[in-house]
Structure 1
Amino acid sequence: MTVISDQEIADFSADFNTNSKNQVASRAARRSGLLEASFNDRVSERLNHVFSTELDVGGVTDQKHSGRCWEFATLNVLRHYFGKQNKVKDFTFSQAYNFFWDKIERANAFYNAMIRLADKPLNDREVQSWLAFAGEDGGLWSMAINLVKKYGVVPSYAMPESFNSNNTTGLIDSLARKERKDAIALRKLVSEGSSQDELEKAKKHFLNEVYRMVSVALGEPPKKFDLEYRDDDKKYHLERDLTPREFVQKYFKDFKFDDYVVLSNCPNHEFNKLYHMPLYDNVDGGDQIKFLNVPIEYLAQAAVAQLKSGDAVIFGNDVLKQMERKTGYLDTDLYQTDKLFGVDTKMSKADRLATGEGFATHDMTLVGVDEDHGHIRKWKVENSWGDKYGHKGFYEMSQPWFEDYVYDVVVRKEFLTDEQVKLAEGPAIDLKPWDNIG
Structure 2
Amino acid sequence: MNTTEVALAIEARWVIPVIPQGVVLEHTTVLINDDGSIHAILPTAEARATFQATRVVRLEHHALMPGLINLHTHAAMTLMRGMADDLPLMDWLQHHIWPAERAAVTPRFVRDGTLLASAEMLAGGVTCFNDMYFYPDAAAEAVVQAGIRAHLGLVVMDFPSAYATDADDYLLKGLEARDGWRGTSRITSSLAPHAPYTMSDRSFEKVMTYAEQLGLGIHTHLHETRTELDQSVAQYGIRPIQRMADLGILGPGLVAAHAVHLDEAERTLLKEFGCHIAHCPASNLKLGSGIANVPAMLETGINVGLGTDGAASNNRLDMFAEMRLAALLAKGASEDAAVVPATTALEMATINGARALGLDDKIGSIEPGKLADLVAIDMDSAICNPCFDPVSHLVYVAGREHVTHTWVAGELCYQEGIYAHVEPAELKEITTQWYPKLSPFRV
- Normalised TM-score (structure 1): 0.23
- Greater gyration radius: 1
Which structure is richer in relative contact order (CA contacts within 8 A, separation 6 or more)?
1
